[in-house]
C-alpha cells in the first residue's frame, strides 16, 4: 500500500499519533521510507497493527475500519458476526455404560466464532462427557449438558437409565370384562433373562416375551408389576379403570393440560374406579401423552338452581361405590347428586375442593376425609339431604365450610371437625328437621363463630342429646360468638348448662383418633 511521505499518521479512522521515538528501532538498512513499506496485520476482531515490512517494527494498535463489504479498509479483516444462540440436540436418555453423541447448533451459520466447548453443569456424578459432546452413562440419574460458543450457551437434560429399563412407568387399561391387555416395551440385551411379576395379580397379571411386557386386566384397581433383568429392577404401575367412562381433554387458562371425567352410557360396572391418568391424543400439541385426571365434571344448571339429570359427573346414576382417583382435586357441583344407590366414596389424597351439592340427596353413609390433607374447601349443601349419612369428618386444612353443608341428614350422629383453620360455622350447617338423633361433635378451639341454627332441629332447636369434645378451654368455649341466621333457633343446643348437652374440654383429637394402647 502506498501512502504520502509524511510521519506515519493514519492507519485507519481515528489513527493514533506515535511518539517521537516511534521508529527508533528501524535503522533504515537498507535505506527505505517507512510509509513505502507499511503493511497492516490483524489482531482479532477489535484491533489491527501497522508494521514496517523492512524490520518488522510494530506500531501501536488501532481499531478496524470496516467498509461496505464488512472488511477492514486497511488490513482486510472481516467484521465479527456474534453468536445468537446455541442449541443442544440428541437423545433424551442414555443407558448406564453406553454412549450417546450430542450435537450443538450455533446460529447464525456465519458466526465468526463457532467453536464449541462442552460441560456437565449438573449431575456430573451420573455421566462423563467428552470434548466432542459424547456422553457416557455412569449411574441412573439426571444430567444437564451445556455447550458454549463465544460466551453464548445452550443446554439439554439427559436421563441416565439402567442398562435394562421399561419404555414407560405407567399404563392405564379399561376393565372390559374380557381380559383387556396392554403392552410395554423393555430395553434388554439378546441374552438377558427377564422376569415379570405382578404384586397385585387380583387386579392385573403380567407376562414377558420378545422384548415386550404384556399386562392383562383382571378387575378395576391399581397394580404394581416388578420387572427384573439380571440385577436391574424396574416397576410398572398399572391402573385398571372401570370401562365406559367419559374423559375430556381440558386446558386451563395457564396452559396446563388435564383430563375431566364423567359418567358414560357404556359404563360396565356400578363399582367405579377412576384412574390417576388417562392417555389423550390431543395432549402435547397433538403428539399424545398421559395427563392427570383432576376434575369430576359438574352438572350444568338450568333455571338457576335446578340441574338436569345425568347432566354432569355421575348425577342420578346407579353407581354403588367410587374411588375418585389419585389426582382428582375437584369434585364438581352436583357431581353425585341423587345417586340413590351410592354408599361408599373413597377419595384420593390430592382432593382439595368439594363443590356445592356434590353429594346432595345421595345415599352415601359415611364420609371420612381424615387423610385428605389437601382439602381446603367444602361448599354449601355438599351433603345436604343425605338420608343414610351417619358420620362426617372435616379434615385438618379445611378453611371454608359452606352453609347447609349437612342440612337435613336425619341419621347424622357423629361430626368430627379436625380443621385447625376453620373459624366460622355457617347457618344450617348440620341442622336436622326433627333433631331426634343423639349427636357426637368434635369442635376445635379455632372455631370462634357459629350460626345459631348450625346444629339441632328446625322444630326444637336442639338435638335429642349432644356430647361435645372441645379442644380448647372452658373459657374459650364460653367466648364463642353465636350469630343470627335463617332460623330462629337458640344457641342452647351447645350450652353445657342445658340438660341435653355435655361438653368435654381440652380434648386431644390426635389421641382420640389414635389412642395409645393400654399396657
User: Higher-confidence residue: 51 or 184?
Assistant: 184
Q: How confident is the model at residue 357 (pLDDT cuts 50, 70, 90)?
A: very high
Place of cell 422384548: 211
What number of other Cβ atoms are within 10 A of residue 99's Cβ?
A: 13
Q: Are strands 353-354 and 377-378 parallel, antiparallel or unpaired?
A: parallel
Helix/strand/coil percentages in the chain, nearest 5: 5, 40, 55
Render pLDDT for 270-283 as a digit per residue (tens, 0 to 9): 999 999 999 999 99
Asked whether the predicted pLDDT for residue 11 surpasses 50, the reply is: no
Provide the pLDDT for residue 292.
98
Least trusted range by pLDDT, from 34-43, 223-232, 242-251, 432-441: 34-43
Place of cell 466464532: 113
Please give the average per-residue pLDDT across 206-221, as a whole number.
Answer: 94
Render pLDDT for 383-436 as a digit per residue (tens, 0 to 9): 999 999 999 999 999 999 999 999 999 999 999 999 999 999 999 999 886 777
Q: Provide, rounded to the nearest whole percent, the portion of the chain with pLDDT above 90.
A: 64
What number of other Cβ atoms are within 10 A of residue 25's Cβ?
A: 11
DSSP state of 516: P
DSSP character string of 9-78: --SSSSPPPPPTTTTTT---SS---HHHHEEEEEETTTEEEEEETTTTEEEEEEE--B-TTSBBTTT-PB
- In 3D space, the residue among 309, 306, 358 whose CA is nearest the CA of residue 332 turns out to be 358
Separation between Cα atoms, residue 8 and residue 356, nearest integer Å? 90
* Close Cβ partners of 4 (under 8 Å, ≥ 6 residues apart): 35
Q: Is the peptide bond between 136 and the residue preceding it cis, with omega within 30 degrees of 0?
A: no
Q: Are strands 212-217 and 181-187 parallel, antiparallel or unpaired?
A: antiparallel
* Cα 128 to Cα 67, 138, 441, distances in angstroms: 46, 7, 62
Least trusted range by pLDDT, from 6-15, 79-88, 428-437, 506-515: 6-15
Render pLDDT for 119-154 as a digit per residue (tens, 0 to 9): 999 999 999 999 899 999 998 899 999 999 999 999
* Cα 59 to Cα 56, 66, 119, 333, distances in angstroms: 10, 20, 40, 84
Render pLDDT for 234-293 as a digit per residue (tens, 0 to 9): 899 999 999 999 999 999 999 999 999 999 999 999 999 999 999 999 999 999 999 999
Asked whether the predicted pLDDT for residue 21 surpasses 50, the reply is: no
3-class secondary-structure state, position 478: helix
Please give the average per-residue pLDDT across 179-184, as a whole number.
Answer: 94
Provide the pLDDT for residue 158.
96
Q: Report the length, in residues, of the chain.
A: 519
Provide the pLDDT for residue 303.
45
Amino acid at each position: 500500500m502506498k501512502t504520502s511521505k509524511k510521519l506515519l499518521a493514519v492507519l485507519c479512522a481515528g489513527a493514533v499519533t506515535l511518539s517521537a521515538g516511534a521508529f527508533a528501532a528501524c535503522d533504515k538498512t537498507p535505506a527505505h521510507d517507512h510509509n513505502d513499506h507499511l503493511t497492516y496485520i490483524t489482531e482479532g476482531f477489535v484491533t489491527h497493527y501497522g508494521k514496517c515490512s523492512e524490520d518488522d517494527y510494530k506500531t501501536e494498535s488501532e481499531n478496524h475500519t470496516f467498509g461496505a463489504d464488512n472488511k477492514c479498509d486497511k488490513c482486510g479483516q472481516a467484521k465479527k458476526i456474534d453468536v445468537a444462540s446455541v442449541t443442544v440436540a440428541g437423545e433424551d436418555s442414555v443407558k448406564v455404560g453406553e454412549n450417546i453423541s450430542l450435537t450443538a447448533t450455533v446460529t447464525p451459520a456465519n458466526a465468526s466464532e463457532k467453536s464449541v466447548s462442552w460441560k456437565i453443569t449438573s449431575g456430573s456424578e451420573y455421566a462423563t462427557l467428552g470434548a466432542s459432546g459424547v456422553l457416557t452413562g455412569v449411574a441412573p440419574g439426571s444430567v444437564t449438558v451445556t455447550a458454549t460458543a463465544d460466551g453464548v450457551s445452550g443446554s439439554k437434560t439427559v436421563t441416565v437409565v439402567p442398562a435394562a429399563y421399561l419404555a414407560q412407568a405407567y399404563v392405564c387399561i379399561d376393565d372390559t370384562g374380557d381380559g383387556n391387555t396392554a403392552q410395554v416395551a423393555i430395553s434388554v440385551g439378546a441374552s438377558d433373562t427377564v422376569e415379570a411379576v405382578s404384586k397385585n395379580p387380583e387386579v392385573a397379571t403380567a407376562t414377558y416375551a420378545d422384548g415386550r411386557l404384556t399386562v392383562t386386566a383382571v378387575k378395576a384397581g391399581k397394580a404394581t408389576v416388578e420387572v427384573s433383568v439380571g440385577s436391574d429392577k424396574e416397576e410398572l404401575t398399572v391402573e385398571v379403570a372401570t370401562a365406559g367412562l367419559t374423559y375430556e381433554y381440558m386446558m386451563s387458562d395457564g396452559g396446563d393440560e388435564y383430563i375431566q371425567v364423567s359418567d358414560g352410557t357404556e359404563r360396565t360396572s356400578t363399582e367405579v374406579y377412576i384412574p390417576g391418568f388417562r392417555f389423550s391424543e390431543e395432549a402435547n400439541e397433538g403428539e399424545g401423552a398421559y395427563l392427570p385426571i383432576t376434575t369430576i365434571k359438574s352438572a350444568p344448571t338450568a333455571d338457576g338452581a335446578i340441574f338436569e339429570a345425568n347432566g354432569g359427573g355421575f348425577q342420578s346414576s346407579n353407581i354403588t361405590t367410587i374411588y375418585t382417583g389419585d389426582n382428582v382435586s375437584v369434585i364438581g357441583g352436583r357431581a353425585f347428586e341423587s345417586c340413590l344407590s351410592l354408599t361408599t366414596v373413597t377419595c384420593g389424597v390430592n382432593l382439595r375442593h368439594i363443590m356445592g351439592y356434590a353429594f346432595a340427596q345421595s345415599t352415601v353413609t359415611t364420609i371420612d376425609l381424615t387423610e385428605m390433607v389437601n382439602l381446603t374447601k367444602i361448599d354449601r349443601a355438599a351433603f345436604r339431604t343425605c338420608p343414610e349419612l351417619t358420620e362426617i369428618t372435616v379434615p385438618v386444612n379445611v378453611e371454608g365450610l359452606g352453609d347447609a353443608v349437612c342440612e337435613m341428614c336425619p341419621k347424622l350422629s357423629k361430626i368430627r371437625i379436625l380443621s385447625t383453620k376453620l373459624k366460622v360455622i355457617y347457618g344450617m350447617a348440620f341442622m336436622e328437621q326433627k333433631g331426634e338423633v343423639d349427636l357426637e361433635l368434635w369442635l376445635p378451639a379455632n372455631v370462634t363463630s357459629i350460626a345459631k341454627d348450625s346444629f339441632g332441629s328446625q322444630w326444637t332447636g336442639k338435638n335429642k342429646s349432644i356430647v361435645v369434645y372441645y379442644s380448647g378451654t372452658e373459657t374459650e368455649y364460653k367466648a364463642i360468638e353465636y350469630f343470627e341466621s335463617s332460623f330462629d333457633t337458640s344457641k342452647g343446643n351447645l350450652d353445657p348448662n342445658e340438660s341435653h348437652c355435655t361438653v368435654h374440654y381440652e380434648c386431644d383429637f390426635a389421641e382420640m383418633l389414635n389412642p395409645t394402647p393400654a399396657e
